[in-house]
Amino acid sequence: MRFRLIPKEEKFFEDFTALADRIVSGATLLERMLASDPPNWDTALQIKQIENECDALTHNIIQRLNSTFVTPIDREDIHALATSLDDVMDSIDAAAGVLRRYRMASLRYGARELASLTWQASMQMKVAVEALDRRKGVHDHAVEVNRLENAADDVHDEALRRLFEEERDAITLIKWKEVLDLLEEATDRCEDVANVLESVVVKHG
């Protein structure tokens, strides 16, 4: 058994998993929020609370990173993973917040579909994060996140096509474009996390 004079701070993996857990909770609430017409606006407040918790977790990770001598993976990777995870929750919160602000009475094509893809991508991302400590199983889940992001791109493109073809009110069109863009962005941010995870595995695998 090798003796390590200064042990590595392994709690970072636990914090990454805690962040991913909260993101899944936020994505679950977003999907639930959009399950009815009109959406349940107050759910956005619950999502905001989760976003605040993610901010606090990310802040704690960065603070500990600055005071930890030996880390389990490279410092820049810890920082990139923490911030990219936080970005996912920021996007979910932004989408929920805009939906609540505009009070859309009836959902258009693309909203529920993108929320579902965000939930699926966040679940795959969570499993990939949990696998990081073992350096095994990350790739397959990262690939699935990428596939789901591509599917979200297709849904987003079709939703925008229908929006510009069917909507005659300019203000409503602008509102819906913002909503659809933010919903699609959440899957982009999940893909960012998957890319960071794959990079870490390549470097430390």
What is the DSSP secondary structure assignment for residue 108, as one 8-state letter? Answer: P
Query: What structural domains and CATH numbers belong to the chain?
Result: 11-204 (1.20.58.220)
The b-or-e profile of 129-157 (16+ CB within 10 A means b, else e) is bbbbbeeeebbebbebbbebbebbeebbe
**For 46-55, 73-82, 179-188, which range has the lowest pLDDT when averaged over its residues?**
73-82
Phi, psi of 196 (to 5 degrees): -65, -45
What proportion of the chain, given as a percentage, has pLDDT over 90?
Answer: 75
Q: Count the alpha carbons within 13 Å of 196 in the hemisphere toward its beta carbon.
A: 23
Is pLDDT above 90 for 6?
Answer: no
Take residue 128 and report the two structure tokens written for it: 């990939």
Q: What is the pLDDT of residues 168-197, one digit of tens each?
A: 999 999 999 999 999 999 999 999 999 999
Q: Is 90 helix (H, G, I), strand (E, B) or coil?
A: helix
Which string of DSSP letters, residue by residue, matches 154-195? Answer: HHHHHHHHHHHHH---HHHHHHHHHHHHHHHHHHHHHHHHHH
Whole-angstrom Cα distance, residue 154 to residue 51? Answer: 27
Which of these ranges, 17-21, 22-26, 74-78, 148-152, has the smallest mean pLDDT? 74-78
What pTM, to 2 d.p., does this model score?
Answer: 0.92
Within 8 A by CB and 6+ apart from 57, the residues are: 15, 18, 19, 22, 86
Which residue type sits at 52? N
